[in-house]
Structure 1
Amino acid sequence: LESTVAKEKMKELSVLSLICSCFYPQPHPNTIYQYGDMEVKQLDKRASGQSFEVILKSPSDLSPESPVLSSPPKRKDASLEELQKRLEAAEERRKTQEAQVLKQLAERREHEREVLHKAVEENNNFSRLAEEKLNYKMELSKEIREAHLAALRERLREKELHAAEVRRNKEQREEMSG
């Protein structure tokens, strides 16, 4: 309650200070101000700003119409059965909370296990696909190489046939001419 009153007074003071500084740019010669249950002293003024000391009057100095805080009502002495019930309820709450924590830990472990399993599975799939792709490329390369070698062999065979034919034709010409 006192802190709320102090906060409200500080808000009023800052607004009041702002308004006063607008109307009166020069400070008032009296450096002590009274605002109800609050006293404000101006400490010093610099180019960077002003500083104030705010003194609040003690709660005993306040007016009698302010409500007096009463102490909380006294509890009656609890019986042994009530204490036992409270202890049992507290034990039950503790067990429930412990079970809930264990359940959350188990769920977290299960989730971690699932994530790890999924990561291993994805890694295996990636490895399998990469291996299949590599095997496909190697097969394709092998087929292309074999086709190229077959084409070279065919050209070489054709050249040899052509050379043999040319030799035969040359020999026939030599026999005819000679």
Structure 2
Amino acid sequence: MTLAAYREKMRELPLVSLFCSCILPQPKEKPTKHTPQVLMSASFIINNVFDGGQEAELLKHLAEKREHEREVAQKAIDEQNNFIKMAKEKLEQRMEINKENREAHIAAMLERLQEKVSADWLIN
């Protein structure tokens, strides 16, 4: 192609096409969301799945899968509730032990104070 022919071709093209041709020399076709081929293949797959009594088998499999997921979720909830219950019991035991220790410590301090007061009373 000669330079003159190239210039003539460029004058004929709109400005947007000129820029686009520089960036993308070969224009690409953009696929649409719902092309007939995709819809036909999807309906073909659906028809094949549901042909020959496979629908009942598929539904049974999905029901079993859903039931298994429910069982797993229920087991996780039960384990979480059990953990919370055990943590509460352990916390209550610790609090009770701390309360008993605190009361014993206070009683011992009061006893020593009583002994000291009575000893000071006897000395004076």
Q: What TM-score results when the alignment is normalised by the length of structure 1? A: 0.47
Aligned to 1:144: 116
Q: Structure 1: which 5+ residue stretches go unaligned?
A: 1-29, 39-56, 61-69, 153-178
Select the structure with the greater relative contact order (CA < 8 A; seq sep ≥ 6).
1
2: CA distance, partners of 1:90 / 1:83: 10
State the shift of 1:121 in Å.
1.0
Runs of 4+, deviation exceeding 6 Å: none
Higher helix share: 2
Aligned to 1:118: 90
Q: Does residue 1:87 correspond to 2:75, yes or no? A: no
Aligned to 2:51: 78
Higher radius of gyration, 1 or 2: 1
Aligned-residue identity in percent: 11
2: CA distance, partners of 1:151 / 1:92: 88
2: CA distance, partners of 1:123 / 1:36: 75
State the shift of 1:58 in Å.
4.5
Q: What TM-score results when the alignment is normalised by the length of structure 2? A: 0.66
State the shift of 1:119 in Å.
1.2
Higher strand share: 1
